[in-house]
């Protein structure tokens, strides 16, 4: 059985350590066959970036999100039916218009790691600021196998 760690290693990535949530919330919550993954940020203190650097930060945030997913399913990818939705929040100025380019950093990694089960609907939303001065935050809704 191929694990998420194996798939990511083949892509040149390693799952990061999760640590504790930064405030009074959980990394994930499961109910009625759905897994809600709390927003995971890229590198703290990066702030607004150009589209290329933002895309890389979206990948960093998605890697953290995948670490939460892996922990939630106990390393058993067989429990993942499909990723339903990603929400990608991007710290940006009012004139910034390349939200989709930035969000593709997260989407591309999730699909590369999970294959067809990783294909998802998505919202890419520009915001004035994010926790810890991050440039990108990614959240997910995942359907699990009952």
pLDDT of 117: 98
Which domains does the chain show, CATH number per domain?
Answer: 4-16+29-144 (3.30.1330.40)
- The pTM assigned to this predicted structure is 0.96
Q: How far is CA 21 from the centre of its chain?
A: 15
Whether the CB-CB separation of 106 and 65 falls below 8 Å is answered with yes
Q: State the Cα–Cα distance between residues 115 and 113, nearest whole angstrom.
A: 6
- For residue range 81-105, what is the model confidence (pLDDT) as tens digits? 999 999 999 999 999 999 999 999 9
Whether the CB-CB separation of 39 and 139 falls below 8 Å is answered with yes
Residue recorded with tokens 């930060």:
57
Residue recorded with tokens 């600021």:
129
pLDDT of 50: 92
Is the pLDDT confidence value at 49 over 90? no
Q: Nearest to residue 112, comparing CAs of 100, 104, 124?
A: 104
């Amino acid at each position: 059985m191929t694990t998420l760690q194996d798939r990511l290693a083949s892509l040149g990535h390693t799952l990061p350590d999760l640590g504790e949530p930064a405030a009074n919330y959980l990394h994930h919550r499961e109910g009625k066959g759905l897994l809600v993954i709390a927003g995971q940020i890229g590198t703290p203190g990066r702030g607004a970036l150009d589209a290329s650097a933002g895309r890389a930060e979206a990948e960093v945030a998605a890697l953290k999100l995948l670490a939460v997913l892996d922990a939630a399913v106990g390393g058993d990818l067989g429990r993942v039916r499909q990723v339903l939705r990603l929400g990608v929040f991007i710290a940006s100025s009012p004139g910034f218009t390349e939200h989709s380019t930035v969000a593709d950093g997260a989407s591309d990694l999730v699909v590369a790691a999970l294959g067809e089960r990783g294909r998802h609907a998505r919202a890419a939303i520009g915001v004035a600021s994010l926790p810890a001065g991050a440039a990108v935050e990614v959240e997910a809704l995942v359907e699990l196998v009952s």
